[in-house]
Amino acid sequence: MKKIFSIISFPFVWAYRFVNDAIYSLKVVIHSKRKPKGRLEARKNKEKVYDLIFYSCFLAIPFAMFILTNIIINGNAIVMAFEKMEDGKTVFAGLENFKQIFINFRIDGNYMFMLKNSLLIYLFTTVFNSFIPILFSYYVYKKLFGYRVFKVMLFIPTILSSIITVSIFTMLSNEVIPDLWMELFGKTLHPLLVNPNTTFPTILTYTLWMGFGGGLLTQLAAMNTVDPSVSESAQLEGVGFFQELWYIVLPACYQILMLGFITGAGSIFTNSLNLYAFFGNGAPSTASNFGYFFQIRTLDGEYAEYFYLSAWGVFTTIIATALTLSLRWLFNRFGPSEDSRENKKKV
């Protein structure tokens, strides 16, 4: 416990020393200002004091948020991972909460099912939300017919409230599409979000729809880094529409694609697929995943259960960190190097 206390108290000691040194530096500046100096030098010292006060006030809010969210809250969660509730008191539990995680994976079949869904969500949101928007971004990049309409229509869902987009998508899935199916094919189609067999694919489609806007902006920004003279030279040499995309534009988007795969690894255990916005606490079991499952347990669970949830958070953080570093190494090891990408841009 002493080691844990020393680790938690270290940021506060460091913060105290930082503030104390800043106050001391301010006092030195003020004291030096009192010495008889020229008017110009006194004005410079006064401006330095004002700048120091401004920077201190400017950094106070993010520094306070860092202390609150990253040190106090996360530090408390790490400590709770090694504790448990016993006879109404908090006692040290060692690795008992972490052992319970492996026990649940062995005896509870829902954990493996949720792991499968969480991995499918990761693959879907990273692969489809990374590669499919490339075609739309390339269409806008080439400024083809109606590209401004595509840009606006694909970006609108990202600026609307999630309540609005969820309501629109629910109406389309449960009312519009079944009615349209009946008129076109004369067959009954159950509401897509109500039917357990179609709930999970339908929610994945909603995620793809909502991811178009962000993917469009980032990939279009990467495509605009390509020198226009390179594209013009390629067209004069007879390079086609898709050849230009493959050999010239995609290398410029490689860093964005790599970043999407790497950062997406951290969301395997946290992405709830917006199930709470659609169903509240009553999402179908076929769409259950780790993000939604532990979100519900956090909202509806008792205080005694938070110790296990804290251990789960520490456990998944370790797994996500290892997976993120591994993906980063793989992309840097087997992907195109910076020199090769620069050469492709110059060819």
CA geometry: angle 254, 136, 257, nearest 5 deg: 20
pTM listed for this prediction: 0.70
What token pair was written down for 341? 């990408």
Residue 288, CB-side half-sphere exposure with 13 Å CA sphere = 17
11 pLDDT tier (thresholds 50, 70, 90): low
Instruction: Return d(Cα 107, Cα 115) in angstroms, integer.
Output: 14
Q: How far apart are CA 336 and CA 223, in angstroms?
A: 17
**pLDDT recorded at residue 312:** 92
| Statement: residue 49 has pLDDT above 80 | no
Position 126 scores a pLDDT of: 79
Q: Are 136 and 216 in contact (CB under 8 A)?
A: yes
Strand partners, 80: none
DSSP notation for 266-323: GGTTT--TTHHHHHTT---GGG--HHHHHHHHHHH--GGGHHHHHHHHHHHHHHHHHH
pLDDT in tens, 203-241: 888 888 887 777 777 777 778 888 888 877 877 778 887
Provide the pLDDT for residue 315.
92
Per-residue confidence band for 346, with pLDDT thresholds at 50, 70 and 90: very low
Residue 55 identity: Y
How many CB atoms lie under 10 A from the CB of residue 183? Answer: 8
Contacts of 80 (CB under 8 A, 6+ apart): 306, 307, 310, 311
- 337, two tokens: 């190097």
Joined together, the tokens standing for residue 311 give 């251990």
Q: What is the pLDDT of residue 207?
A: 84
Contacts of 86 (CB under 8 A, 6+ apart): none
Q: What is the mean pLDDT of the chain?
A: 80
Tell me how far apart the alpha carbons of residues 161 and 201 are, in angstroms, rounded to a whole number. Answer: 22
Average confidence (pLDDT) over 37-65: 74
Q: How confident is the model at residue 3 (pLDDT cuts 50, 70, 90)?
A: low
- pLDDT 10s digits, 101-113: 999 998 888 899 9
Which tens digits make up the pLDDT trace of 153-192?
777 777 777 888 888 899 999 999 999 888 888 888 888 8
CA–CA separation, 158 and 169 (whole Å): 14
More confident residue, 237 or 327: 327
